Amino acid sequence: MTDRLVDRTLRAFSDDLASDRPVPGGGSASAFAGALGAALAAMVARIAAKKAPGSHDELIAELDHLRSELLRLVDDDSAAFASVAAAMRLPKGTDLEKRERARRMQLALLGAARVPLEIARACRRLLEACERGAELAPAAAASDIGVGALMAEAALKGAALNVTINLASLKDAAQVKSLSEDLHREVDGAEELRERILDSVESRIAR
């Protein structure tokens, strides 16, 4: 693929995901889901700001930044996995080629684990921002912040799966330990955070 995924139409991106090509995959889909969640949360904050101009500028700026970051990560994740695929295609006919292929594979796998970890970090920040957004959301937009939180959590968990699958093939024990601990910090408590947001949303929209 020569063009950026984020510049494609929604239908074309969906077609790319549905194809038999390994790229784009779950990591890019997770990043895009997070970007959509950030967009919804930003919409809610902007609606709330109409009644109090300037009062939510900081939250809006944070959400816009997260959306931009997650859109970047859509393509970064696919590029990281493409590096793994390229390393897998390297020749392995001689001992030297086998060693070089193994070295390149490990470097690529490390990159392929780090990018979804970035996605997970961004989505955890997004969940926390959604909690703040839920407090100020107008009743008519409460469901939107709830959807944003659901997408943020789904994206975080999806990214976590992609970190884990790449760590499973990484041989550097110190890197595996460090990245695993980083991931645990981002995932820990995410479900409870999402539940608090949805409880707040549902209490406002229930009949």
pTM of the shown model: 0.93
Give pLDDT, residue 54: 79
Average pLDDT, the chain: 94
Give pLDDT, residue 4: 87
- Give the Cα separation of 145 and 130 in Å (integer): 6
Give pLDDT, residue 206: 77
Give pLDDT, residue 102: 96
Give pLDDT, residue 182: 98
- Short-list 88, 39, 34, CA closest to 64: 39
Give pLDDT, residue 99: 96
Q: Residues of the chain whose pLDDT is less than 70?
A: 1-2, 207
Identify the structural domains of the chain with CATH numbers, from first to last.
10-205 (1.20.120.680)
Give pLDDT, residue 185: 97
Give pLDDT, residue 2: 53
Give pLDDT, residue 53: 82
Give pLDDT, residue 127: 97
